[in-house]
Amino acid sequence: MTSPTSDTTAPDSPHRSTVHSLVRLWPYVRPVRVRLAVSAVVAVAASCMSLFIPLVLKWMVDGPVQDRDPGGVWLGGGLVLLLGLLEAGLFGVRRWLVARPLAGVEAAMRKDLYEHLQRLPVDFHDRWASGQLLSRATMDLQILRMFLAFPLVFLVVNGATILIGFAILFTQAWLLGLVLLAPAVPLMILCSYFETSYALAARRAQDQAGDLATLVEESVLGIRIIKAFGRHRSQANAFRRQTRELWDTEIHKARLLSNIWAVIMTLPEIAIGAALVIGSLQVADHKLSAGTLVAFLSTALALRWPVESIGFLLAMSNESATAADRYFEVRDTPVVSDTDGTGAGARPDGIRLEGVRFRYPDAPPHTAELLRGIDLHIRPGETMALVGATGCGKTSLTALLPRLHRATGGRITLDGVDTAELSGDRLRELVAVAFEEPTLFSASVRENVAMGAGPAGAGEEDVRRALAVAQCDFVDALPQGLDTQVGEQGLSLSGGQRQRLALARAVVGRPQFLVLDDPLSALDVHTEALVEAALREVLRDTTALVVAHRPSTVMLADRVALLADGRIAAVGSHADLLRDSAEYRYLMSGGTPEHDDDALSALEGSDAR
């Protein structure tokens, strides 16, 4: 698999604005918009409580304190306490309003992403590293949930708080209000520069985290190879290198954030200091009451957090925007539309490939096609063996039949119906596949085998029959029999056992067409003979294409097709090709062309036996 790095996963389109990226979340936010709006109103009300406290202080200083009235002081203190309790309670209500709905938004986005990934073509998964996809389904969605719960609401809340606060300040002392407002212009310029720089750093960090997740996943799945070849040091070095790169990026982000936060905190503090000096002079000149100055400064201090949080909220918003971009990069990948066709033709015609061409989408543009005009007819009920040199495209050809890849040109028909016209569900019912590299899931033996039966499912009898065909007698010796969990990737089983279970999965649904990619490669000689005998019974009732690398597998077929130079070079019986094709003799003998005559005699002798 080609693992995209942080460079290759960056979007090709021009950098979008933060707002443009986050607006795309609206379809998911719409169902909870009322709760979000109410939570914002509640949070604004809570913030207003802190702005009312300075007004109470003004009343206390200009009233009970100046008049030496203890009762009034106690009353003012009680009001301040009440306002504080109301503020804390309202913020608690705000959190209660958004917690459950936003968890539902995250779950809905994750579900849609997973379903979309299942529908994307195989070549997409060939290009994308699993760690990159995993990071988008976990880390990025957590970032987006946090954004909806906190920055989104508090950008509104703090903006409203600042407007209300400055309105109060200007009504109390307009000159001092202008002093506090002076840093606004330089702050806006700095925040604009910060947004661009931080967005780039955030995107780079998220891509690097995806690359790191890919490395960890590959190391866990390939632990046997790493230990067998003593590669733990090189893997550890690769992990340290990628961790260091991510660390450097995170430090760069922290440096950007610390710089903007230092400026955002320093300028308002200077403005408050200047307001204090000017206000004190006005109080001394009796142009301003002491209570008004106390209230003004208390209000200004209450506005410190809304102002100082701008950098923090902008950082989270930019990080969320890059997370949204990464999420929708996958969601925007087009799914090749399925068709409404429901079945194969009524006239049995087997499998036909007519002028089929294929090249991988990420192949260099000037390279030749892998398959360059395949013409082949597999008659109804016939088993066709496909042979060819390593890398000639046998596996790619078998992937075209179940439409795991789409042919670049030509057509493939099943009983006269083009596979491009069949619905995905119907195609899966008609065609079953067993790959050379068997993949099992972290589930029971029963579930892994029954997966091949499609939506209709498979009963106990069907599963048992398929296991018998694949000679999976070892299942009865497992701790829980059919209910034994095989573990991740089936690594608790041997290679031959995994291959036999994959073969059972392919035949459990009694498919009309069967594609087997070297299904016996991991079996010992004795087990291979037993599986071959059982397979012959299955192949009598189906039309099959079997990729073969050795004579024993070829013997299962009625005819053999030789694939060479992207085309079908010859078709015939095993004996005919041994006699007429030097390349076929070479492939079957494993020797050299100079020994074709000796190979022919030896293979014909084994055939006769």
pLDDT of residue 224: 63
Residue 180 to residues 167, 188, 232, 267: CA-CA distances in angstroms?
12, 14, 59, 9
- Quick check: do 23-331 and 351-572 share a fold? no
* Statement: residue 240 has pLDDT above 50: yes
Of all residues in the chain, what percent carry a pLDDT higher than 70?
Answer: 87
pLDDT of residue 489: 64
pLDDT of residue 608: 42
Of 333, 413, 319, 389, give the one whose Cα is nearest residue 581.
389
Of the pLDDT bands very low, low, confident and very high (cuts 50, 70, 90), residue 339 is: low
* Statement: residue 4 has pLDDT above 60: no
pLDDT of residue 593: 45
* Statement: residue 600 has pLDDT above 60: no
Top mean-pLDDT range of 135-149, 210-224, 483-497: 135-149
- 324, 21 contact by CB (below 8 A): yes
Q: Which CATH number does the domain 23-331 belong to among 3.40.190.10, 1.20.1560.10, 3.40.718.10, 3.40.50.970? A: 1.20.1560.10
Alpha-helical regions (H) of 120-231:
122-127, 130-137, 139-149, 151-172, 174-181, 184-221, 223-228
* Statement: residue 11 has pLDDT above 80: no
Q: Which has the minimum average pLDDT: 314-323, 497-506, 522-531?
A: 522-531
Of the pLDDT bands very low, low, confident and very high (cuts 50, 70, 90), residue 377 is: very high
Q: How far is Cα 37 from Cα 34, in angstroms, rounded to an integer?
A: 5
Show the 3-state SS of 241-255: HHHHHHHHHHHHHHH
Chain centroid to Cα 608, Å, comes to 54
pLDDT of residue 562: 92
Residue 381 to residues 21, 96, 451, 542, 557: CA-CA distances in angstroms?
55, 64, 24, 5, 11
The tens digit of pLDDT for each residue in 533-550 reads 777 777 877 888 988 887
Q: What is the mean pLDDT of residues 200-205?
A: 84
Q: How far is Cα 316 from Cα 320, in angstroms, rounded to an integer?
A: 6
Greater pLDDT, 313 or 380: 380
Q: How far is Cα 498 from Cα 509, in angstroms, rounded to an integer?
A: 18
Instruction: Give the type of residue at 554.
Output: V
Greater pLDDT, 63 or 114: 114
pLDDT of residue 488: 64
518 torsion bin: left (phi>0), alpha (psi -120 to 50), beta (else): left
Q: What is the mean pLDDT of residues 3-11?
A: 41
The tens digit of pLDDT for each residue in 550-577 reads 787 888 888 999 998 889 999 998 888 8
Of 10, 27, 205, give the one whose Cα is nearest residue 109.
27
pLDDT of residue 341: 53
Q: What is the mean pLDDT of residues 389-397?
A: 87
pLDDT of residue 15: 52
DSSP 341: B
Q: How far is Cα 424 from Cα 506, in angstroms, rounded to an integer?
A: 17
* Statement: residue 31 has pLDDT above 70: yes
Of the pLDDT bands very low, low, confident and very high (cuts 50, 70, 90), residue 10 is: very low
Query: Where in the chain are the domains?
Result: 23-331, 351-572
Q: What is the mean pLDDT of residues 445-467?
A: 81
Q: Which positions ≥6 away from 285 have C-beta within 8 Å? A: none
Chain centroid to Cα 47, Å, comes to 39
- 169, 299 contact by CB (below 8 A): yes
* Statement: residue 28 has pLDDT above 50: yes
The string over 200-225, giving b where at least 16 C-beta atoms fall within 10 Å of a residue's C-beta and e elsewhere, is bbbbbbbbbbbbbbbbeebbeeeeee
Greater pLDDT, 202 or 16: 202
The tens digit of pLDDT for each residue in 251-282 reads 988 888 888 778 877 887 788 888 888 888 88
Q: What is the mean pLDDT of residues 65-75?
A: 73
Write out the CATH class of domain 351-572.
Answer: alpha beta
pLDDT of residue 89: 84
The overall average pLDDT reported for the chain is: 79
Greater pLDDT, 145 or 225: 145
Of the pLDDT bands very low, low, confident and very high (cuts 50, 70, 90), residue 3 is: very low
Q: What is the mean pLDDT of residues 522-538?
A: 72
Q: Which positions ≥6 away from 48 have C-beta within 8 Å? A: 161, 164
Q: What is the mean pLDDT of residues 516-526?
A: 73
